Structure formats: structure tokens, C-alpha cells
Amino acid sequence: MQERRTLLQVSADEAALADQACSVLFGDDVESRKNFIVTNANDVRFLDA
């Protein structure tokens, strides 16, 4: 089976949002992380794909 990879171009606006999401997901504030996950749970399309 051949592995597929995707290359995405990220704009500066998207980079700021990605940085904020990473700070929430990998930071020390558990409540913020939980709220982020609950709020965005319906947007998950590819989990462990």
C-alpha cells in the first residue's frame, strides 16, 4: 500500500489561529483545552486516519 501525503499552504491568518489552537491544546490550562475540544468536536472529520 502506498502512503499518501498532503501538503497544505498556510496563510499568516491561519498561522495565528493554529498557534492559538496549539497553545490551548498543549498548554497547562485543562479547562480551556476541554472547552476547545467540546466546541470543535463536531468539526472532526479525520480522526486517526
pLDDT tens-place values along the chain, 49 residues long: 788 999 988 788 888 888 998 999 999 999 999 998 899 888 887 666 5
Enter the pTM of the model: 0.56
* Cα 39 to Cα 16: distance, rounded to the nearest angstrom: 19
Please give, one letter per residue, the 3-state secondary structure of the chain: CCCCCCCCCCCHHHHHHHHHHHHHHHCCCHHHHHHHHHHHHHHCCCCCC
pLDDT value of residue 48 = 63
